Chains A and B, each alone.
Chain A
Amino acid sequence: MAGIILKNLTKIYPGGNKAVDDISLEIANGEFVVFVGPSGCGKSTTLRMIAGLEECTSGDIFIGGEHMNGVEPKDRDVALVFQSYALYRHMTVYDNLAFTLRMKKVNKKEIDSRVRQIAEMLEIDHLLSRKPSALSGGESQRVALGRALVRKRKVYLFDEPLSNLDAKLRSSMRAKLIRLHEELGATFVYVTHDQTEAMTMGDRIVVMNKGRIMQCDPPQKIYSHPENMFTAGFIGTPQINFIDGTIPPDDRPVKLAVRPESLLLNCESEDCIYLGSGKVELVELLGANMNVHIDLGKTSVVLITEADPGIARGEVFHVSVRPEDVLVFDSQTGLVMEARSYAAV
């Protein structure tokens, strides 16, 4: 097990596409770090550079204190679970799991014992004689996971391993991965574009955009104290509401950001700040809660409230927010501002 240090890491592909732009990050030993961001933000490229499958254009990678630039993937002692699972199609599940141990010339008895142990742990022991073509998505995913875990490695990397699974299976596999991380105490680096995975699994979340790290913090801090508009907008479902505003004394243009669950309907308290009134455009019932889309004239907002049959399309509501729930971002730089005094437009 080992920590990872990325120093000024840059990756420019032939043709000039800058996939990763001068990122630096320290991942502690045993930490579970989740890289999240939109497609093409450079998260998978970063992961592949850590694995040694991509060469970095500049910068340094250290794993367990050892400089890894130029070191072959097989010599980095890292495991990677691929999005496509990348199982060896001509081998049985047993052989898939045993392959890495055979490459390391582990004796047959030890291989057998470790393969069966990991298969039992992942509940795939009844599949050992099957070929990957005879496995379901969830089973393939567990085999891929088993192949990574069967041999002890310094670092375990995951490249969107749950993205091909259905919602129910994804949820159970999330829980399994969290438990595995706790049991192994190893360093996990996980790439996803699914913010639910990011929020529920990681000790820290690294939010990336256009090859740069936008913020790297624990999930709760990322959610409640985003450092920039991108992070605020990317994390959270439904998306945070952005409202144009200005701040005194020079009426500097700003963006006010309010989480959907922080918006209030017809609030009568004096503490509440009135944002505007508008008609309900759409109501999305989600069981216990509902998303309510309200047109405030210059902008539309979405709020989450408890399911209420009284809220229907076409109804008019006053929308307010408590001052402490408002985030203020500089319109020019997109960075969060400390001052929370504002004048809503």
Chain B
Amino acid sequence: MSAPTLAARAAGKKRRAVIKIALLTIWAAVFSVIFLLPTILTITNSFMSPGEIASNYGAIFAKGEAGGKVFISERVNLKFIPDMVTLRQYITVLFKSPEYLFKFWNSVILVAPIVLFQVGIAAVASYGFSRYRTKTRNLLFFAYIVLMLMPYQVTLVPNYLVSQFLKTLNTRWAIILPGIFSPFAVFILTKAMRRVPKSIIEAARLDGASEWRVFTRICLPECKSAIYSVIILVFIDYWNMVEQVLILMNVPEKQPLSVFLSKINAGEISLAFAVATIYMIPAILLFLHGEDYLVEGITYSGRLKG
């Protein structure tokens, strides 16, 4: 084959590669924008004045016969850039209406113990699953997987009955206890702990480490990425919970911001954007802090929840 033909072929190949990359980039950019639009809209709109919000979105609500606001289907004016940037929504939410901060605090005191204890208990359980060979180990682990694969709605009624039996219904324990003993974290961490090389554990034992030290000083740090990804995923899962709260803890003053947010949307639309933005901050910070761990943890665990 002559040299010009080879060069032409190479140029054609290069051109095709460039077109392929360009198309992929456009495709990725379009999807990124679609996914990011609601977040961008929420953040930019949080800097609008109540009047501007009302003029843009007032049409979606109208007075009902009973006097309450009801949703009506009319077109709204989706607007990204405020006419005038103002912090009035934030000032109202943070300083004038402590109710929102109480709800935020409710979220924190529900989610923090769930994340903390779920990861702690799951770490110990997964260490047991990965290190000890017992006759019931595989059966028990299989039961964990089956439980994990069940939709939450399936376990809601048993959870309700157990809460009723334990007399925890309408208390925070009704949310926290089932959250602590969730199988999801056990599944992810067991897979991670099984990847810790046996020789490292044996080396630690020969170096004089007790079982507890092997767990805390070797296995936990070795599974750091999986632990971090579990923390992020569990946090996001419970930070956004709605059904559990409505069924198991239907006490308005104890409800978290996730439940309250839907009520704000139906009511004080002018504050909804600021509240939603504040609501997003912990999850975003957590994600940004542990992004690398999350990616690594998910990659290794092979499959994700849901």
Contacts and interface: CB of A to CB of B under 8 A. Distances in A.
A72 interface: yes
B222 A89 contact: yes
Contacts of B15: none
Nearest to B223: A90
B202 A103 contact: no
Contacts of A104: 208
B206 A51 contact: yes
Nearest to A76: B206
B213 A103 contact: yes
Interface in A96-147: 99-100, 103-104, 147
B210 interface: yes
Interface residues of B, number: 18
In the complex, which of the residues B197, B202, B208 has the most CB atoms of chain A within 10 Å of its own CB atom?
B208
Interface string A164-197: 0000000000000000000000000000000000
Contacts of B217: 99
Given A82-B199, A88-B200, A103-B213, A74 B224 contact: no
Given A86-B197, A86-B199, A72 B205 contact: yes
Contacts of A53: 202, 205-206
Interface in B188-218: 197, 199-200, 202-210, 213, 217-218
In the complex, which of the residues B209, B210, B222 has the most CB atoms of chain A within 10 Å of its own CB atom?
B209
A79 interface: yes
A87 B200 CA distance: 6
Contacts of A147: 203, 207
A90 B221 contact: yes
B203 A82 contact: yes
A74 B205 contact: yes
Interface of A: 51-53, 72-74, 78-80, 82, 84, 86-91, 99-100, 103-104, 147
A77 B209 CA distance: 12
Contacts of B205: 53, 72-74
12 contacts: A51-B202, A73-B206, A74-B209, A82-B202, A86-B202, A86-B203, A90-B222, A99-B204, A99-B207, A99-B209, A100-B208, A103-B208
Interface of B: 197, 199-200, 202-210, 213, 217-218, 221-222, 224
Contacts of B207: 74, 99-100, 103, 147
B48 to A, nearest CB: 48
In the complex, which of the residues B210, B213, B217, B224 has the most CB atoms of chain A within 10 Å of its own CB atom?
B217
A80 B200 contact: no
Contact of B200 (A72, A89, A100, A103): A89
Given A82-B199, A88-B200, A103-B213, A74 B206 contact: yes
In the complex, which of the residues B200, B207, B208 has the most CB atoms of chain A within 10 Å of its own CB atom?
B207
A104 B206 CA distance: 11
Contacts of B218: 88
Contacts of A80: 202-203, 206
In the complex, which of the residues B205, B206, B221 has the most CB atoms of chain A within 10 Å of its own CB atom?
B206
B210 A74 contact: yes
Contacts of A51: 202, 206
A99 B206 CA distance: 11
Contact of B204 (A72, A79, A88): A88
A78 B222 contact: no
A188 to B, nearest CB: 15
B21 to A, nearest CB: 31
Contacts of B208: 74, 100, 103-104
A232 B199 CA distance: 34
Contacts of B204: 88, 99
Contacts of B221: 88, 90-91
B295 to A, nearest CB: 17
A99 B199 CA distance: 15
A100 B205 CA distance: 9
A217 to B, nearest CB: 29
In the complex, which of the residues A82, A86, A91 has the most CB atoms of chain B within 10 Å of its own CB atom?
A86
A197 B92 CA distance: 78
Given A90-B221, A90-B224, A84 B197 contact: yes
B288 to A, nearest CB: 22
A129 B83 CA distance: 55
A225 to B, nearest CB: 37
B300 to A, nearest CB: 14
Contacts of A78: 206
Given A90-B221, A100-B207, 14 more contacts: A52-B206, A53-B202, A73-B205, A74-B209, A80-B206, A82-B202, A86-B203, A87-B200, A87-B203, A88-B200, A90-B224, A99-B209, A100-B208, A103-B207
A197 B25 CA distance: 56
Shortest 3 CB-CB contacts between residues of A and residues of B = A103-B208, A100-B207, A86-B199
Contacts of B206: 51-53, 73-74, 78-80
A135 B197 CA distance: 18
A72 B208 CA distance: 9
A72 B206 CA distance: 9
Contacts of B222: 89-90
Contacts of B210: 74
